[in-house]
């Protein structure tokens, strides 16, 4: 998508809305960053089409025998769905290469369009496949959450998957879930079960005609900090039916963000290593000018519901924190409460030459390490970072570091595919928010700048030198900003 595609009436409305919320400077940089990403993705549609599995591969998947033959119940809440889009959704399920599925459609429409479209569609199916499509016409439109619950009640499978009524799955979506389940099989006596209980995949968006693909969303492994910042899991989320029901299904007070709330209540029951990310696009999210996929301003209530979902999740875990909006709709800042933190401030040079006795002599709970060439930009950076460390699982936290020209020097460190640790977003304009805004929201990282981080003393073991224990996670917090002097 180029600048001529972006400069239309619809996107001008979005820009004006963003301008009103955030001012001219942020709007300018948002537009420039968006155009750069569009340029990066200009060949993406061609790549999607060229990388689709060939017929021989699809046939191989259909003939694959698995240890368990789990059934998947795909939940679809329908409401006055466009017939063409509805048929594409149906096709994408019927064409799955793993065939033990049922499609549970709960229809809250005010017209007979969905019902009539489904009846016509069933006529083209064999009897066995037609029976796998279960349909219930609800007595009224119960909203997205209520309609989703109607589909959940119908589910008889081992796992449920969430699918919007006008979106599409790739034909290998369920097969990839089964591959992951198989990879996680463990033995307990004579019983073999998979340790994985929830799954999600990468995704992208497609236009209303289903001919152009864009906004490829490459996701990380499970990250509770990122989930609190934004519903990055979104699609394609699949979870054990027992977990979904124990979570209580979907709640109408979170309509617009009901899936975010639902995902929280599911993962709260699970250990992080029971949640599996499949690094493949298995879901195409249909985009329209009235959907949140393309127009965040179209459903502002959804972002208030999302904020409530994050806040209520923290309250259930008895974590004291405030949740506020960021410049980007649907992306949140969590500020964790910490009471009078005891912080030892050391220069990087002091830390490097710290002896075992010197380390033991530190009485403070937290240690702030900062190089001589770094200065803080945000005044309350110590409290901001200490709030993160107040959480039991966090052992180290660092902020956004800018170089003297204002570009990003470090937004945390991440391993690349070769296993090399790289500074995230190094060299990117400091006014940009990064890929899916990740330079501007809190999330887990693989490492932090050694000369600008706060660590929990309890997370350090002194073995000839201070060593960070891998029992703790590291977190990037962009709301603590630093700048290098040279």
Whole-number Å distance between alpha carbons of 178 and 431: 42
Distances (CA, A) of 131 to 23, 103, 108, 166, 377: 55, 9, 21, 21, 62
Q: What is the predicted pLDDT for the residue at 321?
A: 97
pLDDT computed for residue 300 by the predictor? 85
**What distance in Å separates the CA atoms of residue 217 and residue 110, rounded to the nearest whole number?**
34
Q: Following DSSP, what letter does each residue of 328-378 receive, concatenated?
A: STT-EEEEE--SS--EEEEEHHHHHT--HHHHHT--SSEEEEE-TTEEESS
What is the spatial distance between Cα 356 and Cα 461, in angstroms, rounded to a whole number?
10
CATH architecture of 343-484: Alpha-Beta Complex (3.90)
Round to whole Å and give the CA distance between 303 and 307: 6
Helix (H) or strand (E) holding 213: strand 213-217
Q: Which tokens belong to 11?
A: 């996107």
pLDDT at 10: 47
- pLDDT for the residue 30: 78
pTM of the full structure: 0.92
Please report, for residues 32, 36, 357, 397, 422, the alpha-carbon distance to residue 432 in angstroms, rounded to integers and kept in the order given: 9, 11, 44, 21, 19
Q: What are the structural domain ranges in the chain? A: 3-42, 50-316, 343-484
Closest listed residue to residue 472, CA positions, set 453, 457, 459: 459
Q: What are phi and psi of 263, to 5 degrees?
A: -65, -40
Cα 214 to chain centroid, rounded? 17
Strands 366-370 and 465-468: unpaired
Instruction: Give me the residues of the chain with pLDDT under 70, please.
Output: 1-15, 288-298
- At 269, list the tokens: 């029951």
Nearest-angstrom CA–CA distance, 239 and 219: 17
Q: What is the DSSP letter of 155?
A: -
Residue reference for tokens 């537009």: 31
In 3D, which of 179, 287, 270, 285 has the Cα closest to residue 227? 270
What does the pLDDT read at residue 9?
Answer: 47
**What confidence score (pLDDT) does residue 294 get?**
52
Angstrom distance (rounded) from CA 176 to CA 171: 10
What would the DSSP string read from start to end of 57-85? HHHHHHT---SS---EEEEEEESS--HHH
Could you please state the CATH topology (level 3) that the domain comprising 50-316 is classified under: Spore Coat Polysaccharide Biosynthesis Protein SpsA; Chain A (3.90.550)
First CA to last CA across the chain, in angstroms? 38
* Same fold flag, 50-316 and 343-484: yes
Residue with tokens 């083209």: 124
């Amino acid at each position: 998508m180029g600048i001529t595609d972006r400069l239309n009436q619809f996107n001008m409305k979005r820009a004006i809305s963003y301008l009103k919320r955030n001012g001219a400077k942020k709007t300018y940089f948002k537009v420039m960053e968006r155009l750069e990403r569009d340029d990066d993705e200009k060949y993406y549609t061609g790549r999607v089409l060229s990388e689709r599995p060939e017929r021989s591969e699809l046939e191989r998947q259909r003939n694959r025998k698995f240890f368990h033959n789990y059934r998947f119940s795909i939940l679809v809440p329908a409401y006055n769905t466009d017939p063409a889009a509805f048929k594409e959704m149906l096709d994408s399920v019927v064409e799955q290469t793993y065939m033990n599925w049922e499609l549970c459609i709960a229809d809250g429409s005010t017209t007979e369009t969905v019902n009539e479209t489904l009846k016509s569609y069933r006529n083209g199916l064999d009897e066995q496949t037609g029976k796998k499509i279960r349909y219930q016409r609800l007595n009224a439109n119960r909203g997205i959450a209520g309609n989703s619950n109607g589909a959940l009640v119908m589910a008889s499978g081992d796992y449920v998957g969430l699918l919007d009524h006008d979106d599409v799955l790739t034909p290998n979506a369920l097969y990839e879930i089964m591959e992951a389940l198989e990879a996680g099989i463990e033995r307990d006596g004579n019983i073999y079960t998979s340790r994985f209980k929830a799954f999600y995949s990468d995704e992208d968006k497609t236009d209303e005609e289903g001919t152009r693909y864009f906004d490829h969303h490459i996701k990380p492994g499970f990250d509770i900090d990122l989930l609190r910042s934004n519903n990055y899991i979104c699609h394609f989320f699949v979870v054990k039916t027992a977990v979904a029901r124990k979570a209580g299904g979907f709640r109408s007070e979170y309509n617009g963000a009901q899936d975010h709330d639902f995902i929280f209540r599911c993962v709260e029951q699970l250990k992080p290593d029971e949640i599996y990310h499949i690094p493949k696009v298995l879901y195409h999210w249909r985009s329209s000018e009235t959907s949140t996929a393309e127009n965040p301003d179209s459903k502002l209530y959804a972002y208030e519901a999302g904020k409530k979902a994050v806040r209520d999740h923290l309250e259930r875990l008895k974590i004291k924190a405030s949740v506020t909006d960021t410049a980007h709709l649907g992306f949140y800042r969590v500020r964790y409460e910490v009471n009078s933190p005891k912080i030892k401030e050391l220069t990087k040079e002091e830390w490097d030459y710290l002896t075992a006795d010197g380390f033991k002599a530190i009485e403070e709970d937290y240690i702030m390490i900062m190089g001589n060439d770094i200065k803080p930009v945000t005044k309350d950076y110590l409290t901001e970072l200490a709030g993160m460390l107040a959480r039991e699982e966090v052992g180290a936290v660092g902020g956004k570091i800018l170089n003297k020209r204002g570009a990003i020097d470090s937004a945390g460190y991440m391993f690349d595919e070769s296993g090399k640790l790289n500074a995230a977003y190094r060299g990117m304009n400091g006014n940009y928010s990064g890929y899916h805004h990740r330079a501007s929201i809190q999330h887990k990282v693989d490492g932090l700048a050694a000369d600008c981080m706060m660590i929990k003393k309890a997370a350090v073991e002194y073995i000839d030198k201070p060593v960070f224990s891998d029992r703790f996670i590291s977190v990037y917090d962009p709301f603590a900003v630093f700048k290098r002097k040279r």
